[in-house]
């Protein structure tokens, strides 16, 4: 596995390649969720590139950029063992200058849900993903459905900017008790870890209601909120796959999303039905 730390070197390394490139962008502290993206990329491409970059522009002031978990050595081992060909590990100073051109998230879809409490977060996400795509020039890029709004906005960017990369959504990897894997789970105390299970439980209940033909979104959301109590809920929403609010669930075209705070840790989860 080759480890490269500057955009220039990576561009040069990949530029004459005629092979398909599968790309998995991450912020490190890799877990089984990331590994499932890497494995899918490994199966579907000749070259696999993973980036580990804690992108400062997607963190707002006061968020956990400084204390975001770092596991550089373990991450390198995981990438090596997962068959990654190139690990891109850039420094912020090589990705950004003082006075930057940036991308703006769409005014509606970028500022609801996650974007409502974190305005400018998705500007940072889209800007860094655009930069990374321009450096790697991937054939396929792999993103987790767990970050459903991020996946939706990146797909929108690719379409609206007429980019040629193929975006591949990957199912959410979960712990055996149902908690969605996340680099932030290590912030949870033992008690909080238990409380966090209310999140997958609320989604499971929503799925159960829908299988019983209860399709009214208000009824489902009310029940989910009950299950999530006393967690601090940022949002519980039921949307269609275009990320528009709906009043009735249409099976095959629905995403149910939850964000709740457990202690000081914000956790996201969703199901696609
Ligand atoms: P992050 O390092 O949190 O920026 O995540 C990098 C990529 O891994 C994103 O596309 C995430 O959606 C994806 N990811 C994170 N957690 C999971 C999970 N539990 N299952 C599947 N993909 C995930």
Q: For every one of its 273 residues, what pLDDT tens digit does the chain have, with 9 covering 90 and above?
A: 999 999 999 999 999 899 999 999 999 999 999 999 999 999 999 999 999 999 999 999 989 899 999 999 999 999 999 999 999 999 999 999 999 998 999 999 999 999 999 999 999 999 999 999 999 999 999 999 999 999 999 999 999 999 999 999 999 999 999 999 999 999 999 999 999 999 999 999 999 999 999 999 999 999 999 999 999 999 999 999 999 999 999 999 999 999 999 999 999 999 999
Q: Which two tokens stand for residue 174?
A: 């979960």
| pLDDT of res. 16 | 87
Query: Regarding the domain delimited by 2-170, which CATH topology (the fold level of the hierarchy) does it fall under?
Result: Rossmann fold (3.40.50)
In the chain, where does the domain assigned CATH 3.40.50.620 lie? 2-170
Active site residue 34: yes
Domain with CATH 3.30.1300.10 in the chain: 188-266
Q: Which atom of ligand 1 is nearest to the CA of 36?
A: 21
Quote the pLDDT of residue 64: 86
Pocket residue to mutate for ligand 1, from 24, 26, 185, most atoms within 8 A of Cβ? 26
CATH number of the 188-266 domain: 3.30.1300.10
Residue of 34, 91, 121, 248 marked active site: 34
């Amino acid at each position: 596995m080759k480890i490269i730390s500057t955009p220039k070197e990576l561009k040069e390394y990949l530029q004459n390649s005629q092979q398909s490139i599968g790309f998995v962008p991450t912020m490190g502290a890799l877990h089984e969720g990331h590994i499932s993206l890497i494995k899918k990329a490994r199966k579907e491409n000749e070259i696999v590139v993973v980036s580990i970059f804690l992108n400062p522009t997607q963190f707002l002031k006061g968020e956990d950029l400084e204390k975001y978990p770092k596991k550089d050595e373990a991450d390198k081992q995981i990438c090596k063992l997962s068959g990654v060909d190139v690990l891109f590990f850039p420094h912020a100073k090589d990705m950004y200058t003082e006075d930057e051109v940036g991308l703006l998230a769409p005014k509606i879809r970028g500022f609801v849900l996650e974007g409502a409490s974190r305005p400018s977060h998705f500007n940072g996400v889209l800007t860094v993903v655009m930069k990374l795509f321009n450096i790697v020039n991937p054939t396929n890029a792999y993103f987790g459905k767990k970050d459903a709004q991020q996946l939706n906005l990146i797909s929108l960017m690719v379409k609206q900017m007429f980019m040629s990369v193929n975006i591949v959504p990957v199912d959410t990897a979960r712990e055996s008790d149902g908690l969605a894997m996340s680099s932030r789970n290590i912030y949870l105390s033992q008690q909080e870890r238990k409380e966090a299970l209310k999140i997958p439980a609320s989604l499971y209940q929503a799925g159960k209601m829908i299988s019983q033909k209860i399709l009214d979104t208000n009824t489902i959301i009310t029940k989910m909120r009950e299950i999530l109590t006393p967690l601090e809920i940022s949002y519980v929403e039921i949307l269609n796959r275009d990320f528009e609010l709906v009043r009735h669930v249409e099976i095959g075209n629905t995403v149910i999303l939850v964000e709740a705070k457990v202690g000081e840790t914000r956790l996201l989860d969703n199901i696609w039905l």
